Chain A
Amino acid sequence: MPDSLLLMALVGLPFIGAIVAGLLRARDAASGVAGAVALACLGLVWAAYPTVSAGGVLRAEFAWMPTLGLNLTLRLDGFAWLFAGLISGIGALVVLYARYYMSSDDPVPRFFAFLLAFMGAMTGVVVSGNLVQLVFFWELTSLFSFLLIGYWHHTAAARDGARMALTVTGAGGLALFGGVLLIGHIVGSYDLDAVLSAGDRIREHPLYLAALILVVLGALTKSAQFPFHFWLPHAMAAPTPVSAYLHSATLVKAGVFLLARLWPVMAGTDAWAWTVGLAGLTTLLLGAYIAIFQNDLKGLLAYSTISHLGLITLLLGLKSELALVAAVFHIINHAAFKCSLFMAAGIIDHETGTRDIRRLSGLNQSMPFTARLAMVAAAAMAGVPLLNGFLSKEMFFAEALTADVPLSPLLNVLPVAALLASAFSVAYSLRFIHGAFFGPAATDLPRTPHEPASWMRLPVEILVLTCIMVGLLPAATVGPYLAIAVRGVLGADVPYYSLAVWHGFNLPLLMSVIALAGGVMLYMLLQQRLKGSVEGAPLIRRIDAQRIFERVMVFVSWRLARRLEALLGTRRLQPQLRLIVGIAILAGAGAVWLRGFGPGNLPSTPVDPVLALIWMVGAAFALGTAWQAKFHRLAAVILLGGVGLVVCITFVWFSAPDLALTQLTVEVVTTVLLVLGLRWLPKRFQVAGEKGPEVLTRTRRARDLAIAIGAGGGLAALSYAVMTRVPPELLARHFLERAYTEGGGTNVVNVILVDFRGFDTLGEIFVVAAVALTTYALLRRFRPAADSVGIPEQQREQDGGAQHEDAVRPTADWLLVPFTLTRLLFPVMLIVAVFLLLRGHDLPGGGFSAGMVVAIAILLQYIIGGAAWTESHLRLLPQIWLGAGLLVASGTGLAAWFFGRPFLTTYFAYAELPLIGKVPTASALIFDIGVFALVVGATLLMLVALAHQSVRGHRSAPRRAAGRAGEA
């Protein structure tokens, strides 16, 4: 099988299996799928053995973003191989166990789906050949472990435990990502091979310490090392198979996996020894100490897991390659005995209904077989000779005695600490066994205990057998695999180590004996205390890491957030706008401050008095608009229109006929729109004798005036500086040169819009369509305020005080001359619109202004003839126009595909038409017709919807609806 296929299947199968299992209903089918996937993965791992055992590395690379150095790289060396084997092998056992453990009331397919997805994520972590990708899978493991821990989400403990695990490991993952980015920056590549070969460069780089701290943060949080250990005991709320899987072979091992993976490039410095070693040492002692005093079987195992992970971390923190060998060896051993112990605890829980050591007793009689298995596993955990735990513990003792540590005092501490932790682990192992299996048979258990289904016990049997086999014949059983894994980390120069059971009488052996004896004594001394009801370890019971964590969380996510919101937030618009404008002014001023400011070198063109005069009027209009917008809205609208006209003239003046045309038409429509809106605004009078604004208002106004002058002055200075510099011409030349030769039109602006940047225009018309539909939808549910519901007084006076049923006649009679004129003008305007549309590609015009002209023509009929008359003579279907416009425009773009060209490619030619003459028939014209139809539809839809508000009967706003119902 090719490497790439094998690796893809190894990572992909669990995820595919997860989806399949999630879709199934039956519990057996789901567990069958999960088991098959796990076994298939194990088979794939085995298939990779020949290559890996020969020292080879399986690699597969799939280009993803090669320019950024991001490829999907899968890489399986000896170390990853060992982990992949653990993940799939123990995964298969856990699936078998879970099949019998999970109750039929639980949604079992979901469980297996999560488990498989987690397995895939974990496999992804170990076979990642790219650091960014590793972090991605790392975060996936956090996510799926969250789902697994919170599987029984109806219990608060599961929810809290899951959330805490996600917060801690997720935050760690973020730190790891930062560290990985730094490493990528140092090395210049995220590829694992490149990173592994750049050890010296990384260690000597000034950013090494930062990268180290971030990476170690990621690893320590994942592996539940002090001071981040507190999430792991809370994760015990998960179903036991999850605990057995996550806390023996997978999730928490990801942290030590990463430390070992980067060991060759990051370890060996004092900083590494201090951070990793110290965290490991503290965790080793603390975890073991607390574990003795746990009353919950799973709690005991959880703290013992923390302690053993501390041991592995400590070994990785030492500057010794032999310590690394011991760490890898202990990873394997711990997986075997801890998984079986968790399963045994689960069996006890399953068969008796409790996990409380104080209630359990004498299970040796009712479930003798399980008792034997648990005893062997616990003995392995305690480090009893002839079992696997003994071997790695011996190695640990040897390393503790000879380690090269940064400070000499620490050197003396290490053997003592090792001895102490070992004695503790003997004590808690004893407690597990003695508490559960010995003594008189318990009487008050929720269920009558008996042996579990033999299939449920099978995984435990296999694991315990492994413990014994490894313990008896280490070199023959685990030897080759350990060698492969160590070679995967260290490369060719693996130090000599011996896997024999018997090394003669030496200091480590003596330490083992002392630890065993000390542990037994400690357990006997503590008997009295352990039987008591007080939970928790003496001395440090009051320091509850969980409570500290919760306090911090509450502070960050609630109090701090509230305080910041109270300090910085506002729900009022004006301060926000003030802030935005103010910051914009400051940003501009800052740029000027830093980079200097001055007018450009171009000589300014002579001032034309005509335009200057026009702009004096324009400026007066603008100031007048600002002045009048509060009390005289109609005047403000008129003045605004005046400003628009002046802008329009400016466009003509400076050679932009297309802009002028568009501005003119838009101006007309906007004005009508605003006038239509006026009717629904509250009346506001300036009372003649009113006192001036109060002091507060006056200062506010002064401040706003200053801001406005600042903004206006700044923009004026900026525009002057821009205009007196030579404009960059790169793009302009590009468009000017290609407009005719490649776009087939002489009106460059139009060619840019419908051809070169056609995609922008397409997006733009979609925006316009969306806006039109939104206004239409908003107005359908429009409820005017109570004081705007009645007929306006102008309209009442106009009708002579009487309401006519048909509102058509009076206006038409009164405005007979303009009425007739607009009717005559209508076809003329339509012809003008068609003319503008057709010539748009070559001369000023185009779909947009043509559409606006049509809209204005119809609008005129509305204004003069009234809504009822217009609609009885013209069938307007704005929605159809709008939809057709969108379809035509997009269709033109899509049509290019049929000719094998990219989206929106245009075609052009000139057609000779009789009478009319030469007409440009670029496909852009069809696109422009789409734009035209859309603009007609959208504009009419908005205007007509707004205009109809005035003629339809209204209910006023809900609050006052009851009071007004009678009047309407």
Chain B
Amino acid sequence: MELVVSLAIGVLAGSGVWLLLRPRTFQLIVGLALLSYAVNLFIFSTGGLRSGAAAILSPGETGTLGAYADPLPQALVLTAIVIGFATTALLLVVLLAARGLTGTDHVDGRERER
């Protein structure tokens, strides 16, 4: 299972990085989104992959790691998802405004001289 997930992370990150290096703003946004999936999955996986572990305590119980999934990476990733959403929105608007002002959707604000 670990192999599948790590390969998945690799593919996501690779596609993301490829898009980051492209010249168009839209590619950049999509690339960042893919990269953040990869990173979120990576952070999540540091807690160990546990299918079928309980996530919710029963009232009055003090949980142990043997029976429950590691909550800390989950909390981190939850925060990361929210912040990722906010930055994507901001980036999108900034890029739209830049495109309006410069007339091009090239990441440098002007087309590359050939």
Footprint of B on A, CB under 8 Å?
Answer: 571-574, 577-578, 581, 604-608, 611-612, 615, 618-619, 622-623, 625-626, 629-630, 633, 636-637, 640, 643-644, 646-647, 650-651, 653-659, 662-663, 666, 669-670, 673-674, 677-678, 680-682, 684, 704-705, 707-709, 711-713, 715-720, 722-724, 726-727, 729, 731-733, 735-741, 746-749, 752-753, 757, 760-761, 764, 767-768, 771-772, 774-775, 778-779, 781-786, 788, 842-844, 848, 938, 942, 946, 956-960
Closest residue of A by beta carbon distance from B10: A716
The answer to whether B51 and A739 touch across the interface, beta carbons within 8 angstroms, is no
Note all chain B residues with C-beta closer than 8 A to A848.
78, 82
The answer to whether B21 and A581 touch across the interface, beta carbons within 8 angstroms, is yes
The answer to whether A715 and B38 touch across the interface, beta carbons within 8 angstroms, is yes
The answer to whether B90 and A630 touch across the interface, beta carbons within 8 angstroms, is no
Cα distance A946–B97 when bound, in Å?
A: 11
Cα distance A739–B1 when bound, in Å?
A: 29
The answer to whether B52 and A717 touch across the interface, beta carbons within 8 angstroms, is no
The answer to whether A748 and B55 touch across the interface, beta carbons within 8 angstroms, is yes
Most buried by B among A607, A733, A736, A960: A736
Cα distance A722–B20 when bound, in Å?
A: 25
Note all chain A residues with C-beta closer than 8 A to B44.
651, 654, 656, 659
Note all chain B residues with C-beta closer than 8 A to A682.
99, 104-105
Note all chain B residues with C-beta closer than 8 A to A737.
62-64
* 27 residue pairs A–B, Cβ–Cβ below 8 Å: A615-B8, A619-B11, A626-B18, A629-B31, A654-B49, A670-B33, A670-B89, A677-B95, A681-B105, A711-B14, A712-B15, A715-B42, A716-B7, A723-B2, A723-B45, A723-B48, A723-B49, A732-B72, A737-B64, A740-B61, A748-B55, A748-B56, A772-B89, A774-B93, A775-B93, A778-B97, A782-B100
Note all chain B residues with C-beta closer than 8 A to A747.
55-57
Cα distance A782–B100 when bound, in Å?
A: 7
Closest residue of A by beta carbon distance from B15: A626
Closest residue of A by beta carbon distance from B33: A640
Looking at the assembled complex, report how far the CB atom of A881 sits from the nearest CB atom of chain B, in whole angstroms: 16
Q: Taking A729-B65, A959-B103 as contacts, is the C-beta distance between A719 and B78 under 8 angstroms?
A: no
The answer to whether A712 and B55 touch across the interface, beta carbons within 8 angstroms, is no
10 nearest CB pairs, A to B? A712-B14, A716-B10, A736-B63, A708-B18, A748-B71, A720-B6, A626-B15, A655-B69, A746-B57, A719-B6
Note all chain B residues with C-beta closer than 8 A to A578.
21
Cα distance A781–B101 when bound, in Å?
A: 11
The answer to whether B6 and A784 touch across the interface, beta carbons within 8 angstroms, is no
The answer to whether B100 and A942 touch across the interface, beta carbons within 8 angstroms, is no
Cα distance A713–B53 when bound, in Å?
A: 29
Range of interface residues on chain B? 35 or more
Note all chain B residues with C-beta closer than 8 A to A644.
37
Closest residue of A by beta carbon distance from B62: A737
The answer to whether B64 and A733 touch across the interface, beta carbons within 8 angstroms, is yes
Q: Which parts of B18-51 form the interface with A (CB within 8 Å)?
A: 18-27, 29-31, 33-34, 37-38, 40-42, 44-51
Looking at the assembled complex, report how far the CB atom of A695 sits from the nearest CB atom of chain B, in whole angstroms: 12
The answer to whether A659 and B77 touch across the interface, beta carbons within 8 angstroms, is yes
The answer to whether A761 and B14 touch across the interface, beta carbons within 8 angstroms, is no
Q: Taking A574-B21, A732-B65 as contacts, is the C-beta distance between A727 and B46 under 8 angstroms?
A: yes
The answer to whether B21 and A729 touch across the interface, beta carbons within 8 angstroms, is no
The answer to whether B86 and A768 touch across the interface, beta carbons within 8 angstroms, is yes
Q: Taking A629-B19, A681-B99, A844-B55 as contacts, is the C-beta distance between A736 and B1 under 8 angstroms?
A: no
The answer to whether B108 and A708 touch across the interface, beta carbons within 8 angstroms, is no
Within 8 Å by CB of B81, from A625, A663, A731, A956, lies A663
The answer to whether A732 and B71 touch across the interface, beta carbons within 8 angstroms, is yes
Within 8 Å by CB of A611, from B1, B59, B82, lies B1
Note all chain B residues with C-beta closer than 8 A to A767.
83, 86
Note all chain B residues with C-beta closer than 8 A to A713.
10, 14
Note all chain B residues with C-beta closer than 8 A to A573.
107-108
Looking at the assembled complex, report how far the CB atom of B44 sits from the nearest CB atom of chain A, in whole angstroms: 7
Closest residue of A by beta carbon distance from B29: A674
Note all chain A residues with C-beta closer than 8 A to B42.
715, 718-719, 722
Note all chain B residues with C-beta closer than 8 A to A723.
2, 5-6, 45-46, 48-49
Closest residue of B by beta carbon distance from A760: B79
Note all chain B residues with C-beta closer than 8 A to A784.
96, 99-100
Closest residue of B by beta carbon distance from A624: B15
Closest residue of B by beta carbon distance from A615: B8
Note all chain A residues with C-beta closer than 8 A to B16.
626
Cα distance A646–B46 when bound, in Å?
A: 19
Cα distance A219–B75 when bound, in Å?
A: 55
Cα distance A763–B77 when bound, in Å?
A: 16
The answer to whether B11 and A749 touch across the interface, beta carbons within 8 angstroms, is no
The answer to whether B86 and A572 touch across the interface, beta carbons within 8 angstroms, is no
Q: Name 13 extra pairs, CB < 8 A, besides A680-B99, A682-B105, A712-B10.
A: A605-B2, A607-B4, A626-B19, A640-B33, A654-B51, A654-B69, A655-B54, A656-B69, A719-B42, A748-B55, A785-B103, A848-B78, A960-B103
The answer to whether B97 and A719 touch across the interface, beta carbons within 8 angstroms, is no
Note all chain B residues with C-beta closer than 8 A to A715.
9-10, 13, 38, 42
Q: Taking A677-B92, A771-B89, A783-B100 as contacts, is the C-beta distance between A615 and B4 under 8 angstroms?
A: yes
Within 8 Å by CB of A957, from B6, B49, B68, B100, lies B100
Within 8 Å by CB of B82, from A727, A746, A764, A942, lies A764
Within 8 Å by CB of A775, from B7, B47, B55, B89, lies B89
The answer to whether A753 and B79 touch across the interface, beta carbons within 8 angstroms, is yes
Cα distance A764–B21 when bound, in Å?
A: 29
Note all chain B residues with C-beta closer than 8 A to A771.
86-87, 89-90
Note all chain A residues with C-beta closer than 8 A to B88.
670, 673
Q: Taking A669-B85, A739-B63 as contacts, is the C-beta distance between A843 and B14 under 8 angstroms?
A: no
Note all chain A residues with C-beta closer than 8 A to B93.
677, 774-775, 778-779, 942, 946
Closest residue of B by beta carbon distance from A943: B89
Note all chain B residues with C-beta closer than 8 A to A618.
8, 11-12
Within 8 Å by CB of A604, from B3, B81, B99, lies B3
The answer to whether B56 and A843 touch across the interface, beta carbons within 8 angstroms, is yes
The answer to whether A740 and B60 touch across the interface, beta carbons within 8 angstroms, is yes
